[in-house]
Structure 1
Amino acid sequence: MRKICGVLRAHSTNPRYFTDDTGKPIYLTGSHTWSNIQEYLGPDPDKKFDYPSYLDWLEGYGFNFMRGWVWEEASYDNVATEKIYIGPLPYVRSGPGIAADGEAKFDLDTFNQDYFDRLRERVVQAGERGIYVSVMLFNRWSTNERPDAGKLAWNGHPFNKDNNINNIDGDPEGLGGRMIHTLALPEVLKYQEHYVKKVIDTVGDLENVLYEIGNEHWEDSGPWQCYMVRFIKDYEAGRLLQHPVGITSGGGAWRSLANQKVLDSPADWISLRPEEGMAYDTDPVAADGIKVNITDTDHIWGLGGNVDWVWKSMTRGLNPILMDPYEPIYGMSDYTVESWKAVNCRDHPTWEPIRRNLAYAKTYAQRMELEAAVPRTDLATSGYCLAQYGQEYLVYIPEGREIAVNLGDERGEFAVEWLNPDNGETVCGDKIQTANEKTFINPFSNAAVLYIARAV
């Protein structure tokens, strides 16, 4: 376990990665699941997520990052067709009056301290394991998505006019709550600002914190998200610690914020979706270092991913993470995306190879002089190469037996190591004395990872 040593900020010489007080690059990777901050387990309000066991499990893989999920609604969602329990929420339910889900209405002027105590406790516990937490502030999936999902999420949202005692109407145009994640509703924005300040007051002294404005927000949310990034930065400017703030895109089919708007934002870190010319699923775009890119299976497949994606992302200078059905989404059997239904369980064979290879990739990142390693599609014939030219190379070979690698102009001795992604087996090749281009033969019958380092 690596100790948390200061708040994250972009590395000065290789801003594809974060660093801390040690000055060393930090390669972020990990697994996240939907119930890791609030309970989001189904219709039984007494069912609880075993958070300590979850942290044990993350630590077992050596993961150092998770998204801390937030759900804005108290009941119903866009997957299950029945009422489910989500909580705690940031606001008390004191009434008077009954909300649409049959429970007491929310008082938006009074925070539920249990929510904030729980948030802090869980972030602290993760930090004790060397795990950074991206604290999600809002969630697009807490507004309505599609009409076949039964009681939709907006029915349980505190900003629904039927659910609060404060006369706040977050849906004046009948769009299922979509407007709350824009700048169109000043009264809603005031409550959001008050809530964000409370979150920062709760966890802003912790070094293992990042902020994420929200999950997969609508295409018209860009100005609101940029406003929130600046709002957080302004509020933290007078505090001891200033944390990285991120904006994420979403699956291209769901009308979420486009990649270019995310790239142009004031965010410190980003997560992008597949678009034309940006095939983050099959051929990831090499990171340019303008922002740290934490590439997430969530915004690429939803529930999905593969081993190829792990290594292609890593060798293109990205920080890959997995949205993991460690605790499955309740009600997925009723959902419309057939491919998600099949894999919505912790032990489905899709997941373990991805988890293991995320861990393998982190091990190589820790071995490398990452401060000088950049994606170089020109140095290996596969096109997947993270390298310090002439010194150190990590190459992914998705197929084929032969791979040619340009080892630089200066002749020297290089150590060679192969990794089999299928089983974690490593094979040390003979040391070589060479310069310029060298052809290597994959010792495995499947994909391989090749690590080459100049002997000291």
Structure 2
Amino acid sequence: MKEALLRSCVSAVIFCGITNPLVAGESLGPLRACPENPRYFAGPDGRAILLTGSHTWNNLQDIGVGDPPPEFPFEAYLDLLKRCDHNFIRLWRFEMTRWDSAKKPTQTWTDRKALYSIAPHPWKRTGPALARDGLPKFDLSRLDPEYFDRLRERVASAEKRGLYVSVMLFEGFGVWALADGWETHPFHADNNVNGINGDLNGDQKGQETHQLLAPEVLRLQEAYVRRVVDAVGDYDNVLYEIANESRAESYEWQAHLVRFIQELEQTRGKAHPVGMTFLMGPQDQWLKSDEKLLTGPADWISPSRNALDGFSYRTSPPPATGAKVILADTDHFFGVGGSADWAWKSMTRGHNPIFMDPFRNEVLGRAAPETWEPLRKSLGQLRQGSLRLNLNKAVPHGELASTGYCLASPSSGEYIVYVPAGRDVSIDLTRAPKRLVATWIDPIEGLKNLQQPVEGGRTLPLTAPFDGPAVLQINPAP
């Protein structure tokens, strides 16, 4: 068949009509690293699953102006995720009780200047003396059921919608980076009735609470983590994250807690993946910190934006090797940022892309909320693409596509190729079966589903039938 015919023989089809045994929805169950393709987790049926979705700061604790802060519309948030066909959220937990955004004028996540309250927290506020935020001091010997009931309810609601949930246990950025982050922390000596002082060196940062320096602090943290596992460990859709953007000095403390959870769950008969994310510090040390994450005890990681060999997680992600499951998170690459282009580049390089979403701009965000709709939609589109190939066998094969963005299992005749600019792409199908079908997909809307037969066993030039970025999916012909 002539190349011109191959490029022009297009007809409209329904994308979900592609013949593939893996089109059916995922089975929700405890995740484990996929033995065949450890770039991904696998469900109880052994099938690899691409995790992708949006997360926002106040999706567990309420954050806002006033005390108590306004209640977060969790069900409406889940509605948005399902409308966009996401399957993953990161459930945030902040450690401080107040955040004055006016005290950090160089911040990149919001233009608002306000005093935010954050609640609830894991420990009861019994007083009678008052903490620095004007509310009763914490009793760190008494965990607060309100916090853990809410956590359990939100994990349960997400499970009903088919969403995996990463439960954030600690949060480092707010403690060390915000001007008043330590001032209202429960482990500040002025904020608890137990005589606990987590700021051992008196620098008003409290970073020692994320290190193995204070045995009495670690005991309290372990008791809290144990209670979290009690609350949600029986759910199948759970992952754990030790801490968001804690300092590089926290590595041993985080590794200890990874092992603590892993050992705890061995006694309970159900294990969940435990992750470690970007270790903050001087930028010239980020790659070294990322290497520690890759070789450490965590089941999954989220690295910094830096990468070796000319790659960048922002613009041209490195191909995932399978050393760890990588959740590529815009939070650690842009702050508030990312695009559909970034999402597809990440997916075709073997990563699991997730987006820190301003949602309604109540806490995060400068641009109008609808600005992020293309990125939200693209995450759903790439998840659908992942369901239409055998992800257990698909690995990054940038050398097979002229664009450099290709996730493929050549011997199975399955390819996803991202074409970021222009309409033309050359793809090496020399190891593929003879009879194939190519489907062109709009990377955001998924509406221009145009199909054409292609022949394996050679390298083919193909042209997208529409302008703008495009996704080319190739599967064996029915």
When normalised by structure 2's length, the TM-score is 0.88
Residue deviations 1:8-66 (CA, integer Å, cap 9, x gap) = 11112111111121221111111111111111122352521111111112111111100
Counterpart-to-counterpart distance in 1, 2:433 and 2:80: 45
Show the counterpart of 2:119: 87
- 1:42 equivalent to 2:40? Answer no
Show the counterpart of 1:338: none
Q: Map of 1:78-227 to 2, 5 A cutoff?
A: 82-147=114-179, 152-175=180-203, 176-227=205-256
- 1:398 equivalent to 2:420? Answer yes
Question: 1:235 corresponds to which letter in structure 2?
Answer: L
Counterpart-to-counterpart distance in 1, 2:83 and 2:465: 29
Higher relative contact order, chain-length normalized (CA < 8 Å, sep 6+): 2
Show the counterpart of 1:335: none
8 A Cα contact 2:25 2:387, kept in partner: no
Residue deviations 1:103-154 (CA, integer Å, cap 9, x gap) = 111100011111011100110111011111100000013313154xxxx121
- 1:54 equivalent to 2:74? Answer no
Counterpart-to-counterpart distance in 1, 2:93 and 2:445: 35
- The 1:54/1:251 distance shift into structure 2, 3 A limit, reads same
Counterpart-to-counterpart distance in 1, 2:338 and 2:167: 23
Show the counterpart of 1:439: 461
8 A Cα contact 2:377 2:444, kept in partner: no
Corresponding residue SS for 1:367:
coil
Consecutive unaligned residues of structure 1, counting only runs of 5 or more, are 333-340
8 A Cα contact 2:26 2:49, kept in partner: no
Counterpart-to-counterpart distance in 2, 1:279 and 1:329: 30
Question: 1:268 corresponds to which letter in structure 2?
Answer: D
Deviation at 1:422, TM superposition (A): 5.0
- The 1:195/1:251 distance shift into structure 2, 3 A limit, reads closer
Counterpart-to-counterpart distance in 2, 1:382 and 1:23: 31
Show the counterpart of 1:260: 291
What's the C-alpha RMSD, in Å, of the aligned pairs? 2.0
Show the counterpart of 1:385: 406
Deviation at 1:434, TM superposition (A): 4.1
Deviation at 1:423, TM superposition (A): 3.9
Deviation at 1:100, TM superposition (A): 0.7
- 1:413 equivalent to 2:435? Answer yes
Corresponding residue SS for 1:313:
helix
Residue deviations 1:77-110 (CA, integer Å, cap 9, x gap) = 5667654221110111111311111111110001
When normalised by structure 1's length, the TM-score is 0.92
- The 1:251/1:157 distance shift into structure 2, 3 A limit, reads closer
Counterpart-to-counterpart distance in 2, 1:433 and 1:404: 13
Counterpart-to-counterpart distance in 2, 1:410 and 1:37: 47
Counterpart-to-counterpart distance in 2, 1:238 and 1:191: 21
Counterpart-to-counterpart distance in 2, 1:442 and 1:252: 44
8 A Cα contact 1:43 1:82, kept in partner: no
Counterpart-to-counterpart distance in 2, 1:401 and 1:209: 41
Residue deviations 1:392-440 (CA, integer Å, cap 9, x gap) = 1100111233211111246612101111225433242431234221111
Aligned identity (percent) is 43
Corresponding residue SS for 1:97:
strand
Consecutive unaligned residues of structure 2, counting only runs of 5 or more, are 1-23, 105-111
Show the counterpart of 1:247: 276
Moved over 4 A (4+): 1-4, 77-82, 250-257
Counterpart-to-counterpart distance in 2, 1:314 and 1:30: 12
- 1:448 equivalent to 2:470? Answer yes
Residue deviations 1:275-331 (CA, integer Å, cap 9, x gap) = 14251111111111121111110010010001111111110111111100014253x
